Amino acid sequence: MLAGKTALHGGPSSFGIVACALCSGLWLAFLALAHHRIRALAATASPAPLAPRHATSVVLCAIATAVCALALVV
């Protein structure tokens, strides 16, 4: 919501709309990865450790979302 509001503040621009869409897509990817991990943790009493590929994906999504948010604010 905040990304959309910031992107449309002062009139819509192509950069603002693209940054908002990218930020929203990254947030959805982060939520999908978190949901996958929650389901894995709930499935067994002793879940497998988080795969490095998934951990890297989560970190990259969080960093990219922060960069997009910064681009929208500045």
> Using one digit for the tens of pLDDT, what is the confidence trace for 14-42?
777 777 788 788 888 888 888 988 888 88
- 1: pLDDT strictly greater than 70: no
What are the extents of the domains in the chain? 2-73
pLDDT reported for residue 9: 67
Overall pTM surpassing 0.85 (yes/no): no
- Which candidate, 40, 63, 60, 62, places its Cα nearest to that of 50? 40
Tell me what pLDDT residue 24 has: 81
Instruction: Tell me the C-alpha distance between 22 and 68, whole Å.
Output: 7
Helix (H) or strand (E) holding 42: helix 14-43
Is the pLDDT at 7 greater than 80? The verdict is no
